[in-house]
Structure 1
Amino acid sequence: MPVPQSPAAPIRIAIGGDHAGFPLKQLVAEQLASEGFAQLVGQVVDCGTNSTDSCDYPDFAIAVAQKILSGQVDRGIVVCGSGVGVSVAANKFPGIRAAICHDTYSAHQGVEHDDMNVLCIGGRIIGSELAMEIVRSFLAAQYTPAERHRRRLDKVLEIEAKGTDLLK
């Protein structure tokens, strides 16, 4: 597996998750703020939730997307029980490219080839050690605008801009 390269400047991160993702979200947020991530992470913005009380995952996908789209952060991490709900919700926003990654390859490849800016993980699916390896791979990766990557990303951006008009 290729070793992801560290970005030139520390990344600003927004993190959020619902009640099912709360325990893993908390652990990830604490780890990101630790010395071990100082080379990769410049700022961590916690978008909630702050408990295991039942709440709705779209609210946290919205909060993280808002931070990215406003330029307050560079990338986001969202956590729910499976990772599916937050991925679906986050991808509704133009400019957000979110994916569930439960392995390190997908986490860095999604950034390198597809310019993924939101990592979605399932708090009930993966353990904390694997989650942190995935997060590190996601944060250390950089988009590589090779011609084929750029061409494919341009097509994705066209889908985003034209939506259902492409189906006519």
Structure 2
Amino acid sequence: MQAKEIAELLEKSDFFGGLDAEHRDWLAEHASETRFEDGQLVARHGDTADRFFLVLDGELVVEVPALTGPTLEVTRLGPGKIFGWSWLIEPYRWHFNARAAGPTRVLDFDGLAILKRAEDEPKFGYALLRRFSALMGTRLESAQRKMMDQWSPAGLP
């Protein structure tokens, strides 16, 4: 997929749509199409986070690993949804696992290059930070609700 095609996708995206065209074009140059097979791990909790993803087709399952037993599914992200904000905040480690649920196609963004530009160009950095901080708040609240529902003993509030 060429940068021009990626820029057009970003313009139509809810997440990137309101960014300046120059910023979207630059982001498009730092993204590439990637495909994952069913069950393939995309991010592992605790590993270095240096990228983020925009789901184009398929689905990413976001999970919290348990100390013992199975992981807890927090959410599923389909087309148009973003996975990954850990590249933006120290210590730059994934806070969740993500894996493909079926064949999944994403735009894979180079978080290191984007973070560098965000630090060098405050207008760009602020525009991204506003979007990602809203995403973080929503996702963390969702994860908290899911964990409380799943892990609280029956009969307790």
Same fold (TM over 0.5): no
Higher strand share: 2
Larger radius of gyration: 2
Higher helix share: 1
TM-score where L is the length of structure 2: 0.35
